[in-house]
Amino acid sequence: MTSHSKLSNLDDLVFDNRFIRELPADEETINHRRQVIGACYSRVKPTPVMNPKCIAYSREVAALLDLHNDTCEGDNFTQVFAGNYLARGMESYATCYGGHQFGNWAGQLGDGRAINLGEVINQQGKRWALQLKGAGPTPYSRTADGLAVLRSSVREFLCSEAMYHLGVPTTRALSLMLTGESVIRDMFYNGNPKAEPGAIVCRVAPSFTRFGHFQILTARSDIPLLKKLVDYTIQTDFPYLGEPFPDNYLRWFTEVCRLTAEMIVHWQRVGFVHGVMNTDNMSILGLTIDYGPYGWLENYDPNWTPNTTDAQDRRYRFGNQPQIAFWNLGQLANAIYPLIEQIEPLLQAMNVYTETFEKGWQDMMAGKLGIKAFDSATDEKLFAELIALLQLVETDMTIFYRQLAKINCDIQLPMTEADFNLAFNYLSAAYYVPEQINASYKTHLHSWLETYSCRIQKDNTSNADRQLQMNKINPKYVLRNYLAQLAIDQTEQDDFSMIEELLTLFQKPYDEQPSKEKFAGKRPDWARQRAGCSMLSCSS
């Protein structure tokens, strides 16, 4: 798009707002907490704030909406995306959904601190829903205030954009606003509440529909509305499937299974841990949604979760994410069963998840190791031995794979001590506790590197080509929790420069960027146990 075709006025955005046009609204118009029956949404306006300030926006997401940068830097943009008033065409509402939280049915949940502004159709004909997170209470806020604090908002804003550039399916973030008001939060639910700066993020996605939107309707035996919502979803978000009818319900569910599997493969590829994989946090488009207590695997520990609420059972730990996604899809299958009334086809669709994930994981691991194509005869064992190796000592996952690309596999086998020492010198950058490296570990590593080099030689791949391919799949830069926390610390001191620096850095997470090398290092020792850097709560 050329610059002259971009919009200089928010009132020129083209809103379609099909969700509220085609689905039933809550008859009650007063904004108070309640059970909403027989409706998909409630009309509600954002709560005006005292002194809004735009501290960051994504130029790329603005471009998706055809917005000129000058528009995003004006006061009108700040006022609208802080929730002080609606631009022409915006119709604000919050949606009704339920969900399983930590494996237990929680009943009605809904957009408790998210308010939708409508759906923009850009000049390419693509639909983008806009949603403010932290803009005040809605009928679904339960006992909460519908607000968000700066620390969680910075994390969501940066991670949404970082994940996109990592190639992970995700919602996006347009803007990050300070409200000029304080919000009381007890960060770790331990009786120590304090006032924190309030903030609002504008999230952007083709759709924010979640598994829970369908679950709540089935739980209430509102099958006519369930059918209406599924029909709407197929027509709006999956038009390539054709018109809705029973066979297409199955095709749609199969597609959701496939998209979900692809998303989870990407999470495993980059070491991302969502932290709160409740069914109400699962997108029907296979997008990463709701960035709460997330984190990146630093030392490779499949049992790690960033969520203090999940610290005991570790339901949403890194290694369990594929199984949880499958379980969540089972709950969606239960929700749409009344429209199909056959178990076997639903089970077959869920098999598509399993097959897609297994093949995707195998291809992903082959790619991470620079192998041309997965070979079950050799590679299953190679992968399993590597995963076991990574857990023997505290090893940084991101750095290990990046450094592995540098070693010389074009060597005479068996591997000599000199060749091993050269390889070990590269990999040593990934170890957090060098004292853990003992003779037994080195023996295991030597054996694995020898097998790995033999496998690469079988492909007849040059070191240069292998490194090039591996570096396209294994990022050098990920949004480690301590980096997000440093940005939060600076922002709380009215210094917004690190947000911009990280936003720019993560636009090219696979590139070397020599001037940004400091952001590629291991987690520093001071961040090992610090709140916000190791584990986080669901509080925001």
User: Quick check: helix, strand or coil at residue 331?
Assistant: helix
User: Quick check: helix, strand or coil at residue 67?
Assistant: strand
- pLDDT at position 245, please? 87
Q: d(Cα 292, Cα 307) in Å, to the nearest integer?
A: 9
Separation in Å, CA 377 to CA 309, 382, 383, 451: 41, 10, 12, 13
This prediction has a pTM of 0.97
DSSP state letter for 94? E
> Residue 1, CB half-sphere, CA atoms under 13 Å: how many?
17
Tens-place pLDDT, residues 333-370: 999 999 999 999 999 999 999 999 999 999 999 999 99
* φ, ψ of residue 468 in degrees (nearest 5): -60, -45
Full DSSP string of 369-392? TT-SS--TTTHHHHHHHHHHHHTT
Closest-CA residue to 448 (of 389, 391, 507, 515): 389
Hey, what are 439's tokens?
């003779």
Q: In terms of DSSP bridges, do strands 127-133 and 114-121 run parallel, antiparallel, or are they unpaired?
A: antiparallel
Separation in Å, CA 380 to CA 132, 147, 160, 363: 45, 47, 33, 11
DSSP state letter for 45? P
Maximum Cα interatomic distance, the chain, rounded to a whole number of Å: 76
Residue 221 makes CB contacts below 8 A (sequence gap 6+) with none
SS3 content of the chain, % helix, strand, coil (to 5): 45, 15, 40
User: Quick check: helix, strand or coil at residue 71?
Assistant: helix
SS (H, E, C) 189-228: CCCCCEEEEEEEEEEEECCCCEHHHHHHHHHCCCHHHHHH
Q: d(Cα 119, Cα 112) in Å, to the nearest integer?
A: 19
Full DSSP string of 72-85? HTSHHHHHHHTTSS
Q: d(Cα 448, Cα 444) in Å, to the nearest integer?
A: 6
Q: d(Cα 353, Cα 346) in Å, to the nearest integer?
A: 11
How many residues appear in the chain?
540
Residue 482 makes CB contacts below 8 A (sequence gap 6+) with 523, 524, 527, 530, 533
Return averaged pLDDT per consecutive 10 residues of the chain, 540 residues in all: 71 97 97 98 97 98 97 97 98 98 98 98 97 98 95 97 98 98 84 92 98 98 98 97 92 98 98 97 98 94 94 95 98 98 97 98 98 97 98 98 98 97 98 97 98 97 97 98 95 96 98 97 91 72
User: Quick check: helix, strand or coil at residue 293?
Assistant: coil
CB atoms < 10 A from the CB of 193, how many? 12
Full DSSP string of 353-365? HHHHHHHHHHHHH
Q: Does residue 267 contact residue 321 with C-beta atoms inside 8 Å?
A: yes
Using N-to-C axis directions, what is the helix angle for 497-505 and 481-491, rounded to 10°? 150
Task: Please tell me which residue in 66, 231, 237, 280 is annotated as part of the active site.
Answer: 280
* φ, ψ of residue 341 in degrees (nearest 5): 60, 30
CB atoms < 10 A from the CB of 502, how many? 24
Q: Where are the domains of the chain?
A: 3-212, 230-368, 379-460, 481-527
Hey, what are 290's tokens?
């709701």
Amino acid (1-letter code) at residue 401: Y
Q: Where are the alpha helices (DSSP H) in 271-377?
A: 321-340, 343-368
- pLDDT at position 539, please? 54
26 is catalytic: no
Q: Which residue in this structure is represented by tokens 């995700």?
A: 170
Q: Which residue in this structure is represented by tokens 């408790």?
A: 112
